[in-house]
Structure 1
Amino acid sequence: MADSESTSEFESETVDDPIQNLSNEKLYELLQNILTENEKLTMENEMFEKFLRRVEPNALGGGAGLLGSSTASQASQQEAAPTRGVRKRSRSKGSASERTLRLTAEQKCDIAQREIEELREELKRMEGDCEKIIDKKLAMIEETQVRAIEIKKFEHEFHRDVIVGGVSKRTGKVECEKFERHHRDLIGKRHALINKLVLKNQALKVSLRKLKSQLRQKEEMGDVLSKVDFDQLKIENSQYMDKIDEKNQELLKLKLMAGRTLQVLNQHKKKLAFLNKELDRIKADIQQRNDLLRRVDAEATIAEEERLKAEVINRRLREQLSDYKVPEVLEYVNCMADLYELQKKERIWDRKVDIAKMAVDRHQRIWKQIAKESQK
């Protein structure tokens, strides 16, 4: 009997449960809706915990307990769903406790509004910090660019005044005097820049003191100032900010123009250095050609003198040739006969000389033998 009653009660509960009659697609859609609702509740709980942690850090345990109790009540409600007919009284008690722990919509909106304002303030603080960091980085970049331009300028001047302009034409090495002069000029420029910056720093300090005194006076007179004065100050501030932006834009344009001008100037300086080298080469070539021309002129003068001398000799030889008379044939024959006779006599005397030399040699040998015998 008891089994039949329990079976009939279970059948009545399954018939009353609407989930059993849903299809798989409907169940999946219902599950997705429940998961979405759970995510919303989780985000809402995190927001409430954050608000409670910021407002009352000591009450976080109690708040967590309250949130935990609400979550537990929801879980107990889900567990009680299959046995809805058996535990109706306990579920009614749980719903009553939930009604006592839940926040109203107005309270939730107030907390959400405060959290939004807190997030906005935090974003503003982060934005201010980021702007400060960006300003510092931009200042560092600008300083680096200025230093790079100064280094390039110093390198160009050093190359122009010392490496190129300081080379001695006689020795081909850099002169120490020009190197020292370049460094003295550089140190003088640095001292002038330091003095200029010191004066500028002093002027800025004076203006800063004036501005601080004006700010102090304005703070003292802040209670007296009216809304119109504040509006006027805002208008003036906006006007000054616009002017500052315009000046910054002009300064940026001037910096870009100065950079381009410096690039063009460096290009022209390089071109000028190249043209100076070409001019020196052309001057050396002209000097060599002038030396060659002087040597050619000297050789031409010498050749002209030799030509004149040759003309004089040629004229004299021509005159001698024109005055020359051929001797008679008989005279030539007689001269040749005399020549043959003289040559014959020369051969005879050569034989006599050879015979005399042989006799002298023989007498010398005999004399030497006699001298040796007499010595013995």
Structure 2
Amino acid sequence: MADTESVDTHDTSNEAGEDPLQDLTDEQLFQLVEDTIRANEVLATETHMFEKYLERVEPKDMGGVTPGTGATPSQSSQDLVRRVDRKRSKSRSSNIDKSLRLSAEQKCDIAQREIEELREEIDKLKEESENVLDLYKAIMEEADLRLAETKKESYEFDRDIMKGSDKSNQGKVVAEKIVRYFEDRLRSRDTLIEKLRLKNSTLKVQKKKLHLQLKQLRIENQQYLEKIDERNQDLLRLKQMTGSTTQVLNSYKKKLSTLTMESERLKSEITSRNDLLTRIDSETTVVEEERAKAERRNKKLRQQLADYRVPEVMEYVSEKADLYELQKKVKSWERKVDIAEMALRTHRKTWQQLKTSHQKANQYFMMEAH
């Protein structure tokens, strides 16, 4: 089919005003012609098979006439092929061309049915030829028996009548002897006919029994064929179910792989967040200790400030200078405490977010597992 598609492509390009054949060498043109011939042979074979298929599958109860047309199956198939050819000649578009072609599955189905039909015809012809051969063999055996019997009777007649008469009566044939001879032959023939009649009746009874057995065997064979067809249908349905199940399994495997990668990423992120939380806890502990020290020192300084008494001028100046320094240090420590509290609030917020994301991840894994 690839060759036919390539030929159709060249035809389309020629209709579009392009001539790709000018760029081809003689060897390429020869190869193109060979491929086109092979493709045409394949198409002719497929068309012939399709015509035979149409002739066989069209309704036979209409007397070989397609309903509403008055044409025979072969004419209708030819009309169908001509209609297809006319459609192809009217339009060379790829969509219409694809719609007119049979799919690979349809071609396989038609080929399989043609093979089965050919096998049935071959079996039928083989059976008919065997019947004809058996008939000819029976005729030949009967002719041989009749010939042997005729020779035997001629010999016995010549021995008993002709030669005996020559010796006793000088060549004259005795009429009584001849009559007696033929009467004996007729009686033996009647006896043989009676035996053959009885044997024939016995064979007819056996033949009737064999026909009944053959009919029963055909019925059983038909039942077995129907069972085989049912088993084949079940097998085909199971194969389809297996295919769909395999597709679903592959999709679930792909989803599982994606979820596994996501789980690994979340585990690594949780590990990094836990490390971050550990560092934040240690830093928070250090900041809490420093804040406690600063509060104790600040309390001590405030107590000293409360217990302050008015000193001398120089002492006041010195103490005032120390006070300024202490106030600067207090403000510095207060700023540090504020910064530490802000950092603590930030770390606590981050810790709450991590706990929330961890709980959501656990819920997501539990839902996927169910």
Q: TM-score band (shorter)?
A: 0.3 to 0.5
Larger radius of gyration: 1
With normalisation by structure 1, the TM-score equals 0.44
With normalisation by structure 2, the TM-score equals 0.45
